[in-house]
Amino acid sequence: MANIRDVAALARVSPITVSRVFNNPERVSPPTRARVEAAVEELGYIPNQIARSLRSNRTNTLALVLTDITNPFWTSIARSVEDAASGQGFNVILCNTDENEAKQEEYLSVLLRKRVDGFLLVPARSEASAVESILRQNVPVVVLDRRVPGAEVDVVRSDSEAGAYGLTRHLICLGHRQIAMLCGPLGVSTAQERVDGYRRALTEAGIPVDEHWIREGEYTVESGYAVASELLAERVLPSALLGANNFVAMGAIRAIREAGLRLPEDISVACIDDIPDWLVGEPFLTVAAQSPYDMGLRATELLLRQIREPGVHPTQEILLPTELVLRRSTAAVNVNHREKT
Amino acid sequence: MANIRDVAALARVSPITVSRVFNNPERVSPPTRARVEAAVEELGYIPNQIARSLRSNRTNTLALVLTDITNPFWTSIARSVEDAASGQGFNVILCNTDENEAKQEEYLSVLLRKRVDGFLLVPARSEASAVESILRQNVPVVVLDRRVPGAEVDVVRSDSEAGAYGLTRHLICLGHRQIAMLCGPLGVSTAQERVDGYRRALTEAGIPVDEHWIREGEYTVESGYAVASELLAERVLPSALLGANNFVAMGAIRAIREAGLRLPEDISVACIDDIPDWLVGEPFLTVAAQSPYDMGLRATELLLRQIREPGVHPTQEILLPTELVLRRSTAAVNVNHREKT
DNA sequence: GCTTCGCATGGTAACGTTACCATACGATTG
DNA sequence: CAATCGTATGGTAACGTTACCATGCGAAGC
């Protein structure tokens, strides 16, 4: 592959002049420039960004470390991050951690070696260590979706607590009293907050919180299915399920169907996170919708600003609202279904 | 940020010994190694992959250039590509072209500068130029999903023709005769093949192909909606719609609903590409399902092999079967609905 | 006891680019 | 006409790493 020296030799100029043709064309006289351009064309020369990065300490690459691109929530984020990044001349490296800390650590290590210019990180667990391992190297980070208590970082996230609160209140208004909360891994801040919102709504309504209805699981379809199946096998059935996210809720719905129960007549289901409506002919899930596209966009903007003007901006937290969307998966409680038939 | 020389100085060895500790630890005596490791720890040294890449001509990075990560079909592919790549120590740069050739060209140019080790490319148009611009630089490519006549490349794709044929045959069996084909951009091989399959099924059944029922559009929800709306506004209604992909079909379904028609009683809909069933409570779309996860996996394996053993493997084409999945969006033709009421 | 061997370690140069400073030369100014 | 300036171009070194070859040294072999 031709290098800058080959081009320089062919155009009878010095390598630095070739460099200028690419980076400061106006600083090269038109005839010389033309000669260089002809040489570039003839040799099929493509500047080597690696060498450039080595000199400039800039890779024009961002890392997007999330849990699973397969969930439309993260898909939207990936899309907006890539849109915003490529608009500013940055590429995006995609990583799926599956909320596995070992995988996350491995990714971070490789990406730090690669000297990406910045990280958009969805931490597998809401503790500071991962974030700090990046900050220690003076590499900008923006945390997506989750709080990281104790770390001095920019965060862009949704108001999970309010979302869960709103959904729980909605269920209470429909007459539900036995509402099971299928929550995510409690090491993750959103899981914690969603339980908090659930608790607050119950408490405000004067309904005692029964810990028996709170079940921890993962943010996956399989986990939602497993936990819901367990619940449905017990003597006392809940009249409503609150899924910690869309995956969990969809898993639970499968369990409900398999148990021969009707939705929403026998049991209501609601969750945080919507599913894009064009994916579902008739959207039927009652949700607290987040704005993932917006979230990715805002986060990328913050990150690029940090990269462009390091050390200038104080860390900030952007809290995005959730929107309650009422659909057919929730209905008034059916008094006959308090006990298993 | 500490470099290899700082570590060497602190450990009182030469830089090359530090390098060996990372790359050939067994070639360094245990006591020296321990001293180096202590120095690495103390300085928080992280090897610079940029410099390494400059020497070795390897970036351990693949480019995944597809149309739109937002479509679950491509999402699955992205997931499998990333799984396979990270398992082999490679990272993946994600790019969305939206089937726009200018965007694609821009991405390819940047990625070639970055010296990615290989490309997984979904060409915006089924012609050789994009692929050739990569091959000219001696960079391995595997084309995903589409044929590229005239280019000597590995291709992994589904049998679109058979998928469309199967769906059309199914509709014919249900008694449909006026089947509209909402096809994709004809510059893309899959769009072409799906029309071919549609034509073959009709012809085999002795039904004359009416060009009036074949409508070109984009592979997007908006396009599906627009084209279907147009069709539904005409005097003679089709009794069934064949969507070129899931996006198009979902757009069409929206148009059908807005037109006050019932699905499938008034009009049947089928398409190529499934939607993961856990995203949809009750899957209802009749489809010819592809295997995107598998497709990404196979393609990545091919690409990594090309990277590892350049020039050894003859180019090959892997053709994956589609699977007909019959659901509720297709039903026997309703004789009353041949003409607009 | 001398040669040979293998192991641990090091010096030098190179990967491709660009920052920094230098230089050549024609144009402008007093 | 000399001094000054600005523009176009070039030389050298450096970014951080590793390939290649060299060296030193103790152990094994005859």
- Would an 8 Å CB–CB cutoff place B82 in contact with chain A? yes
Asked if A250 lies within 8 A of B281 by C-beta distance, the reply is yes
The CATH number fitting domain A60-158+291-320, selected from 3.30.70.20, 3.40.50.2300, 3.40.50.80, 1.10.357.10? 3.40.50.2300
- The model's pLDDT over B327-340, given as tens digits with 9 standing for 90+, comes to 999 999 976 654 44
**DSSP of B224-284:** HHHHHHHHHTSSBPPSEEEESSHHHHHHHHHHHHHTT--TTTT-EEEEES---GGGSSS--
CA A243 to the chain's CA centroid? 18
**DSSP of B63-117:** EEEES-TTSHHHHHHHHHHHHHHHHTT-EEEEEE-TT-HHHHHHHHHHHHHTT-S
**Cα–Cα distance between A253 and A259 in angstroms, integer?**
10
Are B273 and B221 in contact, with CB atoms under 8 Å apart?
no
Å between CA of A53 and C1' of C24: 32
- The model's pLDDT over B28-63, given as tens digits with 9 standing for 90+, comes to 999 999 999 999 999 999 999 999 999 999 999 999
Element spanning B17, H or E: helix B15-23
The number of CA neighbours under 13 Å toward the Cβ of B208 is: 3
Higher pLDDT residue, B161 or B339?
B161
Q: Is the shortest CB-to-strand distance from A108 to strand D under 7 Å?
A: no
- The model's pLDDT over B279-299, given as tens digits with 9 standing for 90+, comes to 887 889 999 999 999 999 999
Same fold, B4-47 and B160-290+325-337: no
Tell me the chain A residues in contact with residue B111 when contact means C-beta distances shorter than 8 Å.
91
Tell me the chain A residues in contact with residue B70 when contact means C-beta distances shorter than 8 Å.
75-76, 79, 276
Residues of chain B with pLDDT > 90, as a percent, come to 92
Are B340 and B235 in contact, with CB atoms under 8 Å apart?
yes
Contacts of A116 (CB under 8 A, 6+ apart): A59, A61, A62, A63, A93, A139
In this structure, which long-range contacts are made by residues A123-128, counting pairs with CB atoms below 8 Å and at least 24 apart in sequence? Answer: A123/A148, A124/A67, A124/A97, A124/A99, A124/A100, A124/A188, A125/A99, A125/A101, A125/A185, A125/A187, A125/A188, A126/A187, A126/A188, A126/A189, A126/A192, A127/A187
Are A66 and B53 in contact, with CB atoms under 8 Å apart?
no
**Cα–Cα distance between A86 and A99 in angstroms, integer?**
26
Å between CA of B246 and C1' of D15: 50
pLDDT per residue of chain A (341 residues) written in tens, 0 to 9 = 899 999 999 999 999 999 999 999 998 999 999 999 999 999 999 999 999 999 999 999 999 999 999 999 999 999 999 999 999 999 999 999 999 999 999 999 999 999 999 999 999 998 899 999 999 999 999 999 999 999 999 999 999 999 999 999 999 999 999 999 999 999 999 999 999 999 999 999 999 999 999 999 999 999 999 999 999 999 999 999 999 999 999 999 999 999 999 999 999 999 999 998 888 878 899 999 999 999 999 999 999 999 999 888 999 999 999 999 999 999 998 766 544 44
Asked if B44 lies within 8 A of A136 by C-beta distance, the reply is yes
- The model's pLDDT over B131-153, given as tens digits with 9 standing for 90+, comes to 999 999 999 999 999 999 999 99
In chain A, the DSSP E strands lie at 61-66, 91-96, 118-121, 141-144, 154-158, 179-183, 214-216, 240-243, 268-272, 286-289, 317-320, 323-325
Asked if A279 lies within 8 A of B253 by C-beta distance, the reply is no
Q: Is the shortest CB-to-strand distance from A34 to strand D under 7 Å?
A: no
| CATH fold group of domain B59-159+291-321 | Rossmann fold (3.40.50)
Give the minimum alpha-carbon distance from B222 to chain A in angstroms, rounded to a whole number: 10
Euclidean distance between the first and the last CA atom of chain A, given in angstroms as a whole number: 75
Give helix then strand counts, H and E, for chain B.
12, 12
The number of CA neighbours under 13 Å toward the Cβ of B337 is: 22
Please give the class, per CATH, of domain B160-290+325-337.
alpha beta
B138 → chain A, closest CA residue:
A1
pTM for the whole structure: 0.95
Q: Where are the domains of chain B?
A: 4-47, 59-159+291-321, 160-290+325-337
* A87 CB-contact burial (10 Å; exposed 0-12 / middle 13-18 / buried 19+): exposed
How are beta strands A323-325 and B154-158 bridged, if at all? unpaired
CATH number given to B4-47: 1.10.260.40
**What is the predicted pLDDT for the residue at A337?**
54
Tell me the chain A residues in contact with residue B105 when contact means C-beta distances shorter than 8 Å.
none
C-alpha distance from residue A340 to each of A23, A236, B185, B231 (Å): 74, 6, 54, 51
- Would an 8 Å CB–CB cutoff place B94 in contact with chain A? yes
